[in-house]
Amino acid sequence: MSVIKKCLFPAAGYGTRFLPVTKSMPKEMLPLVNKPLIEYGVDEAMDAGIHGMAIITGRGKRALEDHFDISYELEHQIAGTKKEGALADIRRIIRECTFSYTRQVEMKGLGHAILTGETLIGDDPFAVLLADDYCVTEGPGVLAQMVALYEKYQCSIVAIEEVPRDETNKYGVIDGVEEAPGLYRVSQMVEKPDPEVAPSNLAIIGRYILTPDIFDILRETPPGRNDEIQITDALMTQAKMGRVLAYKFKGRRFDCGSIEGFMEASNYNFAHVYRKD
């Protein structure tokens, strides 16, 4: 059992880059081959020993709840046939995890989405997973790597990777002192800085472990980049107290928030992850 018991999945966004498919379908339900993005996220959380899934939804996201629930009609149809195997993974998820949902009624940024989740999380450290950052690893998943670090350092942790300098304006970017190989004590974090002013090319990707004082900080955090409440700005408040680490995770990330990244992930997944049996 992990010290981190819950994982928050912000999933209220409109997915406008994928229109028209996201008009009536949540972008988190877009499949890499035959499994929706959100399910890969749940797999990664489970791999980290986390079994409480807290999902921030919004209007038009019903399919997410239905996916993590039993479909009696379907169960009845395929009972005793060889198609039952196709539901083995999702059955295990439903059996071993609990799912809770709350709606973000206004789109005021990732920080606002996370604050909306306070009611599902309570007063414990928790993980945050953005399902459109799809990560593949050879060993333990990215969250499992981060939970192991949390056990040692007991402070907020963000996952990072190096990105080309001209792409810093797509990410939260950090600066800090490398305490151990690939592990930085964060001194600076900026949301989507232009390349000329970015403190480094170390970009935050969609995996966080957060200590619960982040909720009080978020309440006091004014809107930042794009006039939205940014988790990056709230984390900077913790960083000033030396309480944020940035970790260069082991593995590969695909940006499934863009069409190009999503197609790349689909092809990779079909070749290397999808089980054809």
Residues 133-172 that bind ligand G1P (CB under 6 A): 133, 171-172
What's the min distance (Å) between Cβ of 229 and ligand G1P? Answer: 10
Its sign, for the CA torsion 275, 93, 262, 194, is: negative
Query: What pairing do the DSSP bridges indicate for beta strands 156-162 and 52-57?
Result: unpaired
Query: What pairing do the DSSP bridges indicate for beta strands 244-248 and 126-129?
Result: unpaired
Question: With binding defined as CB under 6 A, does residue 205 bind ligand G1P?
Answer: yes
Peptide bond preceding 36: is omega within 30 degrees of 0, i.e. cis?
no
- Using the rule CB under 6 A, which residue among 38, 130, 163, 246 binds ligand G1P? 130
Question: With binding defined as CB under 6 A, does residue 236 bind ligand G1P?
Answer: no
What's the min distance (Å) between Cβ of 135 and ligand G1P? Answer: 11
Instruction: Give the residue at shortest CB distance from ligand G1P.
Output: 172
Crossing angle of helices 37-47 and 88-96, in 10° steps, is 60
Binding mask 69-88 for ligand G1P (x = CB under 6 A): --------------------
CA dist 43 and 248 (Å) reads 21
| Count of residues in contact with ligand G1P, rule CB under 6 A | 13
Question: With binding defined as CB under 6 A, does residue 232 bind ligand G1P?
Answer: yes
Stretch that binds ligand G1P, among 46-54, 135-143, 200-208, 213-221 (CB under 6 A): 200-208
Nearer to ligand G1P among residue 93 and residue 200 (C-beta):
200
Its sign, for the CA torsion 115, 208, 275, 92, is: negative
239 phi/psi in degrees, rounded to 5 = -60, -35
